[in-house]
Structure 1
Amino acid sequence: MHIEINQSQIKSRVIKNKLIKILFMAATSVALIFLALLLYRVLSQGLGYLSMDFLTSFPAPYIDKAGIYAGLMGSLFMMAITAPVSIILGVSTALYLEEYAKQNKFTRFIQVNVQNLAGVPSIVFGLLGLTFFVYLFQFGYTLIAGALTMSLLVLPVIVVASQEAIRSVPQELREASVGMGATKWQTIWRIVLPASVPGILTGSILALSRAIGETAPLIIVGAAAAIYTIPDSLLSKYTVMPIQIYSWTARPQAEWQFVAAAGIIVLLVILLLMNAIAVWIRNKFQNRY
């Protein structure tokens, strides 16, 4: 009798596992189907408008003259500021919390708030950037204000990802380094950081990918919908690709939707390149450690 009960329980668990597997496969299939439809729509509409002139032309009131050059360069300049600022601050914060800070109520309070900030809507960071960088520090509606606002947006994500990567480094590596006579900072610089680079880089790229596609915070801190120059200083006016794409989709003529689709293709290509570089660097470090 006892054996029969166990066999029935095993059969019940097998059936449940199969049902859950089917459910997960169905959910994944639905997501992939909608993703494929979205990509097909974007590619079918945008490829015909994608050309070298489109990449090297400024916005224009005519469809055949419109280009994304200002938004493309603005996004690249913004990432050139946002990436080092957010990564340096994020990794430094993670190192302090994991390697130096004592585990007490205050430290746990900081960690909980950092994790909560990672889920705050982006519009809140836009208001924060407007208050501090535009008004308080008097940067105005300029490139540096937008870049620092985006740094605030991605900073909590980078901190959390860096903490997890640093925490995953075995304690035995630290102890062996100290046992060989290395100082705490030498251990962090030569052992902990190189071993945690893959995780830190993955989190940072995902965070920056979110930043390059954000629109709402930049609207608040003054990104222009149409601009006919590229930034030549930190205090220059600017626009970015999401803002430019948004302005095209808001126009009534149907042809502008195709121009917006071409802009989306450019944005997707940049995101894929960012992720490809991250995968290459991560694999390189994983081979070493």
Structure 2
Amino acid sequence: MEGLIPLVLTLAAAGVVAGLIAGLLGVGGGIVIVPVLDTALAVRGVDPAIRMHVAVGTSLATIIFTSLSSSRAHHAKGAVDVELVKRWGPFIFVGSLMGSVAAAQVQSVVLAGIFGVVALLIAIQMMLPLDNYRPWKQVPRGAGGIITPSLIGGLSAMMGIGGGTFSVAALTMMSQPIHRAVGTAAFFGLLIAIPGTIGFIINGLGDPRLPAGNLGYVNLIGVVLISPMTVLMAPFGARLAHRLSRRQLSLAFGVFLLIVSVRMLLRFTGLID
């Protein structure tokens, strides 16, 4: 019990911060949950070969609850583009399922590398003064309307995040207002988390290296501890988002991604375990 108390407090604190960030930035909270879980699992002595798989799978499971809470709060403020959800939703869903299957086939350190590189690129994009950079005047249709959401779903599932990391950046470059991009991304998180969680559960069943309390690559203890905190705090983050300017939101998003990317790249290079 003495060893579990720090773990419980760490996971609960991660849920609080993740919930605030989920509501504020529409990112589902996984951008915080994955690195925290990776560290917590390392302390508990979980095999490094599957540690990121468990962190990502567990993160996706918690995002189901976070996205429900966050998207409802944004929808109440009219910030969810329902028409875009209908157009992109099926491709995001299928992409997420395929991404979770692909993630189960690669080494844990590879997932950390993917997480770090992509997070760093998006952080740079969001932190630069590119508020007026709009290469697309509207959300593309045709091939672009299929490939973009499919990639968002697939990469998000591999990283254990709710899709806001990609959706917010993509939608702002497609001339969508930042608050609407954040609100819509929150709903996309639900379409990523459900199939992604199912994929990580199925692909992890029977792995003898799994720690206690796991269902496939989803740690049920982590879900129980983190989910209530994220659901409780997400509406507060959503309300805060609508009090900030577009530039403030972009900078906050970029700073968080930069911090997380450095942590994951150090893990990938072997400088930290």
Give TM-score, length-normalised by structure 1: 0.30
Give TM-score, length-normalised by structure 2: 0.32
